[in-house]
Structure 1
Amino acid sequence: MNYNLNAFVSDIQNQNYAVLNLDLNRNGRLVAALQNQLNNNGQTMDDKSIEAFVESQNFHGGRWTRFNIMIISFLQYCRDVNPWSAWDCSDLIFKYYSDLNNCLLNDSYPCEPLVPVFIEITEFIIPLARELDNHYLELKVKKHQFLSHTSMIISKLFNSIKSNSENTSEFFEDLPQKQRILLYLVNKLNNIYFRIESPQLCSNIFKNFKPKCSLANFSQFPINEQIEYRYLLGRYYLLNSRILNAFVQLNNTFHLLLSLTSVPNTNQIPQLQNNIKRVLKFLIPTGLLIGKRFRFDVLSHFHPQMVNMYSELQQHIRSGNLQLVNSWLKLHEADLLESNLLLILLEKLPMVTYKYLVKRLIVEWSLSQGFNRLPYDLVSQALQLSIGKDNYYSLDDSKTKITMFNGIHSSDNAENVLVTLINLGYLRGNCFPSMRLCVFKKTSNINDIMPSIEERITSMFPLNADDSWLED
């Protein structure tokens, strides 16, 4: 390739910043040509020579020091890059990325044309950081070191973005370049925080996103970025046990993805299907926690194996069979643990299951006979059948290993179960310990006695008002 430093300088002066790409797969010939000249058949330009060369070009009148530093970093990368080892040149790569990022922090300089370069380099850096982190033991570095460093660089740019509250834009295209990438940065940071097992760091990003945004309506952002944001927000809520908020965001994500499937673009279909699977992985268990009944015959089109798996769980829950629920959790323990779903399902599903068990008792025993009461003894018998061999007090310690699946629940806890259901609002009644009875309203309508779980959760835990702008 007939390319040299003079051509490079000309490109920079003409703001052809596409030449600043580190990715050798896309810009390798240009980097190789510059490397050849910078090494000049063994007479390498040292750092001071490169600095002097860049400063002599008087880019931007010599006033933009950070720009010069970034150009110097790029040329040092070109000079020293080892195309066969990302690890050998990782310091050069991340230094250039940091210097490029620093150029974007001060809006008093003409940094707008560098924004597309930053996006391009970010798309190169994150997979590279992930790959290096996968070998952290061999490289003898800290776990998640490279992605953590990447997030620190991106967060500096995120923090530098300020909203123009006096001049909000109605259309995405009217935004300055830095404002256009605000949601892009939010999603990149939150994705990294999940990957480095620090999802609580997302809190600050979600909190500051709207105050930094100069766009009047969230719906004006690119649809793919909206989808990613809602998905990550839903997962964040789920990790923090804000079940209803999680369901709303994940459900909206699912429907936005469905709307894209109606757009004829065969190139996007595989990616769309993968994204739908990602969302269903969290949407279905979240829905089960608030008593949603899914049409699995419809959902099976997207992911038959996973849908069949959760269809079984839904049947176990609605039949009030805690033993089968626990068996299901134990069977899928590894997958649920990897997805951070195990603990919340283990915590929340028993009371949801008990709710359906007690509902069945009231319908088949109390209401069928015109009674407005439920004896503790009857509840204990039902619990014994529901818990089965996992009943804590019937375990033989010498033969059975006590686990989180079988060492918690007991048929002796009838009153505790009823009182908890009442406190949660799943059961409208009163317990009388001396009479060993639960008494409720005299009615033939079971919904007057046991309202839907979603109804109770909605009244007790309203949706986060800060998310209302997502729907405007």
Structure 2
Amino acid sequence: MPELEFFLKKLKNALQLPAPTAQAPLAELLSLDPQKHHIPRLQAELQNVTSEKLSDDIDALKLFDNGWPGLEQAVLTYLVFVRDFNPWSTLDSIDLMIKYFSDLAVAMGNIEFSKYLLSTLAQTTAMIVPLTKTVDLKLMLVNKRKMDFPRLSHVSGILLKAMNNLRADTDIALPSHRDKQTLLILLSAKLCSTYFFIGSPMLCNNIFSNISTLKLNSSYIPRAQLLRYRFLVGKYHFTQSSMLNAFHHFSWCLENCHTNASPAIFVTLLKYLIPCGILVGRILNMEFLKKLNQFKLNGLGHELIVLYEPLIRHFRNGDIYNFTILLKKNESFFRKTGILLPLIQRSRILLLRNLTLKVYRLNPGKTIAMAKINVALNLSLQPEQAARNFGAGYSYYMYDADGGVDDSFVENVLVALTDQNLVKGKVAPVSKSVVVAKTDTFPNVYELYKVKYPLDPKDGWLDSK
């Protein structure tokens, strides 16, 4: 039997099966993987077959009584890909693959029959996105351009189209549609990851908002898919300086990460969880990280320990100068991860709070003398040393203490701390002191922020039981 006839017969037979049973054989038949056995044989036979002849052969199958033209177009595009692709060049073949991917996304617009193609779309997405990324990166290198992702941007539009076609099913939130929910979350995570890669993280907000309106039950979605999705939700909140929201999702990911997950997954998560925890008052226990590094991370967490152990120590002590010096020394790491500016900006008030707490613990009482805070600030800021180490190019690291630490500077610091309720008390300029509350003088930062910065309600479905 000719290869094309055999292929079309297998396709028709698969589509006559119930959708759950048909998904695997269809994904095998419509795979872009050139190592699939049917592809080289089919390619050889198709060399002298026109696209018009292929279209007629597909039409003659009368798939679903020709009631799903999107499927017929996707099958045609697939066969054109098999006929024309160059097995030795991804660059020569990528546009054929993207065209097939696009037609596959359009085919998902048939709500009744799209369930047949769920596995096919999932595996095609898993292949197309990294290949497109590789092609764009290589072309950027050749053309000496930066942040130029024409094909990847196009693929993101196709992913969005596929997502919207899945969302159009008004019954998608039902337990019987768990397979569609799983694919929807997979596509959403892949799309948001792509947005981050091409430098457009703000576009993720629309994706998260659209998903939240579906009122899905997160317990229906496989844990692995949910973890990828929630990590990206957390990463988005982190970029928007919504640290409490980010920490909520990052900590969930750590708690729910499978014990057999790769060390790289843990390390990627910890790169964001640790600084985020610092900025919301939930500092990761370094002993826990050391044990995790020893028994789970295969030593991959060593860099994080070297970076964060002294940073956390300086943070707890309110040692502003040494905290900032560490940021400067490791600027490339923090900048690459996108956490440099949040650590510089958001840590300042907490460093001052920790410094004031240290002074208070050394001299507990009803008041805190400004003179003692003045001494502590001079030791912590080291204005002269800072001026030598942070030149004009590093002015964003500097605290506004160019004229040294005087009474006015100290008073401003204490007013800021009391205004934000990080210290419960009242600044008394006349007596040059702070009259502090008898109880809960230094409120728990995390509990304080939980009240001040409530979680985003559109993420609430992720915590549904």
TM-score by length of 2: 0.87
Report Cα offsets for 1:189-221 as digits up to 9, x if no partner.
Answer: 1211122221111111111213235x5x31221
Q: Distance in 1 between the 2:424 and 2:313 partners? A: 24
Aligned to 1:265: none
The one-letter code matched in structure 2 to 1:113 is: Y
Residue 456 of structure 2: aligned partner = 464
Please name the residue that 1:266 is paired with.
Answer: none
Letter of the structure 1 residue corresponding to residue 32 of structure 2:
L
Q: Which residue of 1 aligns with 2:377?
A: 383
Do residues 415 (structure 1) and 405 (structure 2) align?
no
SS in 2 for 1:126: helix
Distance, in Å, in 2 between the alignment partners of 1:318 and 1:163 is 50
* Between 380-389 and 4-13, the greater mean CA deviation after superposition: 380-389
**1:401 offset after TM fit, Å?**
4.1
- 1:87 deviation in Å? 0.9
The Cα of 1:308 is off from its aligned counterpart by 3.5
Q: Is the alpha carbon distance of 1:238 and 1:92 closer, same or farther for their aligned partners in structure 2, counting shifts above 3 Å?
A: same
Cα displacement (A) at 1:182: 1.7
Give the letter aligned to residue 14 of structure 1. N
After TM superposition, the structure 1 = structure 2 runs for residues 45-444 of structure 1, keeping only pairs within 5 Å, are 45-108=49-112, 110-138=113-141, 140=143, 143-162=148-167, 169=174, 171=175, 174-175=176-177, 177-213=179-215, 215=216, 217-257=217-257, 260-261=258-259, 269=260, 271-301=261-291, 302=293, 303-365=301-363, 367=364, 370-375=365-370, 377-389=371-383, 395=387, 400-404=391-395, 406-410=397-401, 411-412=405-406, 413-433=409-429, 435-441=431-437, 443=438
> Structure 1 pair 165/300, CA: closer, same or farther in 2 (3 Å)?
same
Greater RCO, 1 or 2 (C-alpha within 8 Å, sep 6+):
2
- What letter is aligned with 1:459? V
Identical amino acids, percent of aligned pairs:
26
Residues 1:396 and 1:22: Cα distance change in structure 2 (over 3 Å): closer
Shift of 1:222: 0.5
Shift in Å, 1:57: 3.7
Secondary structure of 2:92 counterpart:
coil
Secondary structure of the residue aligned to 1:403 is helix
Query: What letter matches 1:242 in structure 2?
Result: S
- Superposed CA RMSD in Å reads 2.5
C-alpha separation in 1, matches of 2:460 and 2:103: 37
Measure the CA separation in 2 of the matches of 1:331 and 1:9: 62
Residues 15-49 of structure 1 deviation map (CA, whole Å, 9 limit, x = unaligned): 24221111113x2x32211221112xxxx333333
Contact preservation (8 Å) 2:367, 2:436: yes
**CA-CA distance at 1:251 after TM superposition:** 0.8
Residues 414-446 of structure 1 show CA distances to partners (whole Å, capped at 9, x for unaligned) of 2221122122210122234455433323x3x5x
Aligned-partner residue type, residue 45 of structure 2: Q
1:101 Cα deviation after fit: 1.2
Q: Deviations over 1:229-260 (max 9, x none)?
A: 22111111111111112111111110111xx3
Q: Structure 1: 5+ residue runs without aligned partners?
A: 262-268
Letter in 2 for 1:247: F
Matched letter for residue 122 of structure 2: I
Letter paired with 2:11: I
The answer to whether the 8 A contact 2:115-2:180 is kept is yes
Aligned length: 438
Aligned residues of 1:3 and 1:33 also touching (Cα < 8 A): no
Q: CA deviation at 1:454?
A: 1.1
Residue 452 (structure 1) aligns with: 444
Return 409-418 or 90-99, whichever deviates more: 409-418
Distance 1:363 1:274 in 2: 40
Matched to 2:70, the amino acid is R
The residue number in structure 1 matching 2:21 is: none
Distance 1:371 1:210, change over 3 A: closer
Structure 1 residues 69 and 126: alpha-carbon distance in aligned structure 2, compared to 1, 3 A threshold: same
Of stretches 8-17 and 78-87 in structure 1, the one that deviates more from structure 2 is 8-17
Q: Tell me, what secondary structure is at the counterpart of 1:178?
A: helix
Q: Structure 1 residues 288 and 73 mapped into 2: Cα distance closer, same or farther (>3 Å)?
A: same
Contact 2:182 2:222 (C-alpha < 8 Å) held by counterparts: no
Matches within 5 A, 1:11-30: 11-15=10-14, 16-17=25-26, 18-25=28-35, 27=36, 29-30=37-38
Contact kept? 2:366, 2:435, Cα under 8 Å = no
Deviation at 1:138, TM superposition (A): 4.6
Query: Aligned letter for 2:243?
Result: I
Q: Which amino acid aligns with 1:382?
A: A
- Whole-angstrom distance in 2 between the partners of 1:456 and 1:176: 38
Provide the rounded CA distance (Å) in 2 between the counterparts of 1:322 and 1:352: 10
